[in-house]
Amino acid sequence: MAANIVLTAATWSFARRQVRRAGQRVADPSLASQGRAKDTALTLASLVPAGLFWLMVLGGSLHGLVAFGHDTLGWRGGWEYLVPGTLDGVSVTFAMLAFRAIKRGKAPDRCYRVVWGAALASATINFAHEFSKSGNALAGGYVALLSLFGMFMFDEFLNQFEEGADNVRRENPKFGIRWLTWPTNTLLAAVAWRNHPPPEGTPGTVANAVANLNRVRTAKREARRRAPTPPPAPDRPNAVLSPPSVSTDVAPVRPRAVRKDSSRALSASADDDAKVTVPSTPATLTRWVSTWLAMCQQPDLGWASMQDERLAREHFNLSTRALRNIRYAVMTGALRRRAQELGVDLPQEYREMAVRPRGET
């Protein structure tokens, strides 16, 4: 350890100068061919001390895990070394596999998850064993930090060699310690990244994930603000349409046939058994037509409102059952025929078209 500290102090100023010159060569392509030997010396001066410190940290974690296997599990004759081998050894192995994944142009996210899962397990065992043995939480915390520091250092080694990692498509952002510092916002950002992904090619960074969450929130607020509110019926202001089973202003008619394809207009007749609920007054029919036009203007919202009672009440002031009745009356053609019977002129934009989410056939 003393030799390592002396080596670090002796190479510190040299490393600083080489870092500055390496930055100049990156900024100026004409200097890229110069200083390769010095870059190699810089790499050695930086990584050799760091590697030695990393071995010390892993040695401390190994000592605690071996003691756990010996004292708690009762393993003897070399079997106690399986504990650090199956925890810290797994972390190091999958960290190496992360190097290989990046070199092959693949996202190393799965390797990262295994690395940190094994590191957390190692830290937990070290803390619990040392605390139960000494009764000192500070001692247990120190031994636990050795396991975490080892993985932190290895993660930094990986970042130093992550050349071309920006070209690796990361499926999900790496939130890291943010899961502990702000778990609720991090969970929402992860869900928004999965359910409402950003444009193709957006890097999977924490900043982009938070920006994507803000974008989704803004879009939802705008959708709620712009959602049309159907006008209330003149004879019953601000009334909410009751379910058809108890409604007094609707009457059933019998369609001729009901086809499974609801995207086409269907004819109706009084001879079949299936029933379609239609309005019995011009005012209610006008309101149904206005609601249908609003659903056609925003098909995603209209489809969701037919499934969600809260959305139906909030955006259309009707129940989900009432919205489905309107859709069924339109698609069977019963609403158009009822309008002719009541002498109500339908607007030109009225169509018997299906309301489905975009992209669904």
**5-31: pLDDT as tens digits:** 777 777 777 777 766 776 666 666 565
Q: Which residue has the higher pLDDT, 353 or 167?
A: 353
Residue 184: pLDDT over 50: yes
Please say if the pLDDT value at position 119 is more than 70.
yes
Q: With contact defined as beta carbons under 8 Å apart, do 346 and 336 qualify? A: yes
**pLDDT tens by residue, 275-316:** 678 888 888 888 888 888 888 888 888 888 888 888 888 888
pLDDT at 251 over 50: no
Instruction: Report the amino acid identity of residue 343.
Output: G
Euclidean distance between CA atoms 270 and 254, whole angstroms: 5
The reported pTM is: 0.41
Chain segment 84-99, per-residue pLDDT in tens: 888 888 888 888 888 7
What is the model's pLDDT at position 185? Answer: 92
For the cut 80, the answer to whether the pLDDT of residue 42 exceeds it is no
What's the confidence (pLDDT) of residue 242?
43
pLDDT number for residue 214: 92
Q: Across the chain, which distance is largest between two alpha carbons, in Å?
A: 99
Give the lowest-confidence range in 6-20, 223-237, 250-264. Answer: 250-264
Residue 231 has pLDDT above 60, yes or no: no
Q: Which two tokens stand for residue 153?
A: 């250092």
Q: Best-predicted range by mean pLDDT among 145-149, 257-261, 357-361?
A: 145-149
Q: What per-residue confidence (pLDDT) applies to 258?
A: 40
How confident is the model at residue 102, as a pLDDT?
A: 74
Which residue reads 């001879």 in tokens? 271
- Lowest-pLDDT choice from 96-110, 207-221, 256-270, 333-347: 256-270
Distance CA 10, CA 323 (A): 78
Q: What is the pLDDT of residue 257?
A: 41
Give the per-residue SS3 of the chain: CHHHHHHHHHHHHHHHHHHHHHHHHHHCHHHCCCCHHHHHHHHHHHHHHHHHHHHHHHHHHHHHHHHHHHHCCCCCCCHHHHHHHHCHHHHHHHHHHHHHHHHCCCCCHHHHHHHHHHHHHHHHHHHHHHHHHHCCHHHHHHHHHHHHHHHHHHHHHHHHCCCCHHHCCCCCCCCCCHHHHCHHHHHHHHHHHHHCCCCCCCCCCHHHHHHHHHHHHHHHHHHHHHCCCCCCECCECCCCCCCCCCCCCEEEECCCCCCCCCCCCCCCCCCCCCCEEEECCHHHHHHHHHHHHHHHHCHHHHHHHHHCHHHHHHHHCCCHHHHHHHHHHHHCCHHHHHHHHHCCCCCCCCCCCCCCCCCCC
Highest mean pLDDT of the ranges 31-35, 82-86, 237-241, 253-257: 82-86
Map out the domains of the chain as residue ranges: 2-163, 250-342
For range 256-271, the mean pLDDT: 40
Q: Phi/psi of residue 117, each to 5°?
A: -65, -45
* Three-point CA angle 288, 291, 297, nearest 5°: 140
Q: Judge whether residue 322 has pLDDT over 60.
A: yes
**Residue 24: predicted pLDDT:** 67
Q: Is the pLDDT of residue 198 over 80?
A: yes
Percentage of residues in the chain having pLDDT higher than 70:
72
- CA atoms within 13 Å, Cβ hemisphere of 328: 22
- 60-64, 105-109, 348-352: least confidently modelled range: 105-109
* Amino acid identity, position 93: T
Single out the residue of 117, 182, 107, 183 nearest to residue 148, CA to CA.
117
Q: Please choose, from the candidates 162, 315, 69, the residue with its C-alpha nearest in 3D space to the C-alpha of residue 61.
A: 69
The answer to whether 69 touches 79, Cβ cutoff 8 Å, is yes
Mean pLDDT of 55-64: 86
